[in-house]
Amino acid sequence: MNADDLGLRDLRRCFDGRIPAVVATASASGVPNITHLSLVHEVDNERLALSNQFMSKTSRNVAENPQASLLLVDPVSFSEYRLILRYERTDRRGPVFERLRDDVDKVAALSGMRDVFRLRSADIFRVESIEIVRDFDVPPARASRLQNAGLTACADLAARMSRCGDLGAMVTVALEGLDELLAYRHSSMMLLDEQGQRLFTIASHGFPVEGVGSEIEVGDGVAGAAALTGRPVRVGALHQMQRYSDAVRRAFEREGAVGPGQDIPLPTLDHPESRLAAPAMVKGELIGVLVVESPLVVAFDDEDEAVLTMVATLIAQMAQLERAEQDAADPPAVPQAVEAVADEAAEVHVRFFPEDGSIFLDGNYLIRGVAGRVLWSLVQRHVATGQREFANKELRLDKSLDLPGFRDNLDTRLVLLKRRLEEREAPIRIERTGRGRFRIDIAGTLRLEAHD
């Protein structure tokens, strides 16, 4: 492409942060300064906004001499472009500042530095010229998923999801459908906890580790940033921004020690390059976050945000519907005590730590928190009375679960617990028997042990 035909819209891949931009300025006396930029934002086809976080010398130079030179590198073709800029103004509020601050917050969430990595201002420059420094053959553009599959694929996925009778089934259908119909090979669904402080993985698809039950704090990583802002968050250069917070970079599950405070690894690719998180919201309330990953650089665009937001919204609506139906359901009958019957199989050792609700089965960590306390309540009742059939409302009366009154998320915790037991091929399983009802199946004789 001829340099005279280039506009900023032709350089959009250069703004995704995989390869940092280089900006050069000079003082009034001609003393140069060169620095790297993590973020460059397109304002329109004639202007760019540069993030001003630690660029005090650059700011002083452009105040004296408004000329600047910017070097950009295309992360796919590795073509290089030199832009001659002229400083126009500095924004500390307004729409351009807010959009750039969102981008900075995204990087801060990935690096675990939300408290220190903050945007001071957005420096606006007009682009006076664009020069092609090195021009390599550009790989053929990847067709968007909607171009490949068409709107009929989105309609098919929505129809499949609409036929699901509960949240657990819908999440499974959604993740499998995203792969089969729209080629999102790697996806996961995270739900907001009862306190609104953490996200926990309820299901995943296409990852080496399923990661059901893994958690991150709201605000951490791409998913946490989407939860915090209530807007989709897209990163096309994860390799460049790989300094995750501790919650995001857990590498393995520590199964050697038996005690509280265990962690489950998040579902992720070994070397992801792109990640997109779409908040699942209904009536302005955050329910969770839908996440997709890709090993390809700059794999997602605005169309992907729209598709994932649609799917996430359908999941949020189902979660709210289940909650409303459970609230409206009649109270269950008080279960009658029955004679306990021992299963004819090996002993199953269940260890519980009240400190954080951690549960271990035969020495192996299973889960913690509300889901762990739910399982402990179920096995205690089974050992005491032989009870196998339960109702959700019955569990809500159990004070030991420490459920908040305003929103308990018990239904989603049961789905999480069911999936985690299946993932670990545990000798205890949960099977749904009807709306708001389930049973536990135990392949063995339980031996319970609680630690103070």
Measured in degrees and rounded to the nearest 5, phi and psi for residue 301 equal -140, -165
Parallel, antiparallel or unpaired: strands 186-192 and 198-205 = antiparallel
Give the pLDDT band of residue 398 (cuts 50, 70, 90).
confident
- H helices of 112-220, in order, are 145-149, 151-162, 167-182
Contact 409, 346 (CB under 8 A): no
Q: Which residues are registered as beta bridge partners of 189?
A: 203, 290
**Ordered strands of the 233-235 beta sheet:** 215-217, 198-205, 186-192, 285-294, 274-282, 233-235
- H helices of 30-186, in order, are 56-64, 95-111, 145-149, 151-162, 167-182
Res. 49: pLDDT tops 60: yes
Region 424-434 average pLDDT: 91
The domain limits of the chain are 3-134, 145-328, 347-450
Answer whether 145-328 and 347-450 agree in fold: no
Region 400-407 average pLDDT: 66
Q: Classify domain 347-450 at the CATH topology level.
A: Arc Repressor Mutant, subunit A (1.10.10)
Q: Using alpha carbons, list the distances in angstroms from residue 223 to 142, 364, 374, 409.
A: 25, 28, 26, 19
Q: pLDDT digits over 350-377, tens only?
A: 999 998 889 999 988 999 888 999 999 9
Parallel, antiparallel or unpaired: strands 347-353 and 445-450 = parallel
3-class DSSP assignment, residue 68: strand
- Name the nearest CA neighbour of 215 among 141, 154, 289, 317: 289
CA distance 132 to 81: 5
The number of angstroms, rounded, from the C-alpha of 49 to the middle of its chain's C-alpha atoms is 27
Q: Using alpha carbons, list the distances in angstroms from residue 273 to 53, 138, 155, 217, 246.
A: 25, 19, 28, 22, 19
| Homologous superfamily of the 3-134 domain (CATH) | Electron Transport, Fmn-binding Protein; Chain A (2.30.110.10)
Residue 7 tokens read as 């506009």
Please tell me the predicted confidence (pLDDT) of residue 299.
85
Contact 286, 182 (CB under 8 A): no
Residue 355 tokens read as 């400190």
Q: Classify domain 145-328 at the CATH topology level.
A: Beta-Lactamase (3.30.450)
Give the pLDDT band of residue 144 (cuts 50, 70, 90).
low
Contact 232, 308 (CB under 8 A): yes
CA distance 254 to 311: 34
CA distance 234 to 13: 13
Please tell me the predicted confidence (pLDDT) of residue 249.
38
Q: Which residues are registered as beta bridge partners of 429?
A: 441
Q: pLDDT digits over 202-240, tens only?
A: 999 999 988 999 999 998 888 998 998 898 988 876 655
Q: Mention every residue, 6+ apart, whose C-beta is less than 8 A from residue 357.
A: 368, 369, 370, 371, 372, 373, 376
Give the pLDDT band of residue 341 (cuts 50, 70, 90).
very low
Region 125-129 average pLDDT: 94
pLDDT, greater one: 416 or 105: 416
Q: Is 208 left (phi over 0), alpha (psi -120 to 50) or beta?
A: alpha
Res. 443: pLDDT tops 80: yes
Quote the DSSP letter at residue 298.
T
Quote the DSSP letter at residue 326.
H
Q: pLDDT digits over 63-107, tens only?
A: 899 999 999 988 878 889 999 999 999 888 888 888 777 776 666
Q: Using alpha carbons, list the distances in angstroms from residue 278 to 153, 171, 309.
A: 19, 14, 5
